[in-house]
Amino acid sequence: MIRVGILGATGIVGQRFLQLLDGHPSFAVTTVAASDRSEGKAYTDACTWRLGGDVPRAALGLRVQAPEPPLDCDVVFSSLPAEVAGPVETRFAQAGYPVISNSSAHRLSESVPLVIPEVNPEHLGLLDTCRDAMGAGGGFIVTNPNCSAVMIALTLAPLAARFGVEAVVVTTLQALSGAGHPGVSALDITDNVIPFIAGEEEKIERETRKILGRLQGGRVAPAGFPVSAQCHRVNVADGHLAAVRVTLGRPADPAELPSALADHGAEDRPREKKRSDQRGTRRRER
């Protein structure tokens, strides 16, 4: 069993980590960490649980610690805000911990893999470069992408592999859940669409090209096609929508597209171990 520490465990994303790992056959949460406001408190006292249902069994009896090494765990899952995640995650990696981060702080770092397992697992080849960058401790950082970039890259990858891609234009309609808690002011979003989300367009444009880029010479060369994004906040509780216009590298019959999407990577797709229940995910934008 791999022992997990969760950084930012009292926030919505940290709560989701706890919920998804509860009863997992391979992982056991042994440590929760958060800001100094929560440090030293029982998790159930420090956390306002917002996901519905009961606080996961994994968190019962745990006390919140400071998000600094050492912690009693084998791997760290980070849901820290980007403005504090960068140096904290670096310190854990330098201390020898594998850090799996939901934060945007390191996504575009040259030595850090930005990975969707179904799309670019080969980018984990950067791990040796990342270890070298973190020093003698042997730790590393792996990041996952922005929530909208995930669904866009998952769709573009098979199209790029079969037809090539020359240009992408994306318009997103993003739900309130992505803004976290307390989120968007009711006065701003009621009967309205907010046509801008700070930082979101740049994340989609740059992260998508890194995910779909090629690993060569110890770095990722971004995909060569431009990505243009326009992001909007809409008055929907949960679930983002992306309208994507793709200019392909060669003509494609519409009948070819379903098989291109369905067949891509199917032979390499990992099988998830059985567990007692399955839950969907809801992520705050990072």
Q: Which fold has domain 147-268?
A: Dihydrodipicolinate Reductase; domain 2 (3.30.360)
State mean pLDDT over 255-267.
Answer: 85
**pLDDT score recorded for residue 276:** 44
- Give per-residue pLDDT as tens, 96-138: 999 999 999 999 999 999 999 999 999 999 999 999 999 989 9
CA distance 241 to 225: 22
What is 2-143's CATH number? 3.40.50.720
- pLDDT of 268 > 80? The answer is no
Domain layout of the chain by residue ranges: 2-143, 147-268
Q: With the CA atoms of 58, 63, 65 and 70 taken in that order, what torsion angle do they form, in degrees rounded to the nearest 10?
A: -60
Question: How many residues does this entry show for the chain?
Answer: 286
Angle at 162 between CA 159 and CA 168, to 5 degrees: 30
- pLDDT of 191 > 90? The answer is yes
- pLDDT of 279 > 80? The answer is no
Which band of pLDDT confidence, cut at 50, 70 and 90, is reported for residue 199?
A: very high
**pLDDT score recorded for residue 264:** 84
| Terminal-to-terminal C-alpha distance of the chain | 29
**How many CB atoms are located within 10 Å of the residue 152 CB?**
25
CA-based nearest residue to 130, from 112, 156, 149, 104: 112
Answer whether 129's CB lies under 8 Å from 157's CB: no
**pLDDT score recorded for residue 180:** 76
Q: What tokens does 22 get? A: 């509860």
Which band of pLDDT confidence, cut at 50, 70 and 90, is reported for residue 178?
A: confident
Q: What tokens does 148 get? A: 């909208």
State mean pLDDT over 203-228.
Answer: 97
Q: What tokens does 230 get? A: 């326009």
- pLDDT of 213 > 60? The answer is yes
CA distance 172 to 20: 26
- Report, as residue numbers or ranges, the catalytic residues: 147, 240
**pLDDT score recorded for residue 187:** 81
Beta bridge partners of 42: 63
State mean pLDDT over 20-36.
Answer: 95
- pLDDT of 232 > 80? The answer is yes
Which band of pLDDT confidence, cut at 50, 70 and 90, is reported for residue 267?
A: low
**pLDDT score recorded for residue 266:** 61
CA distance 283 to 52: 15
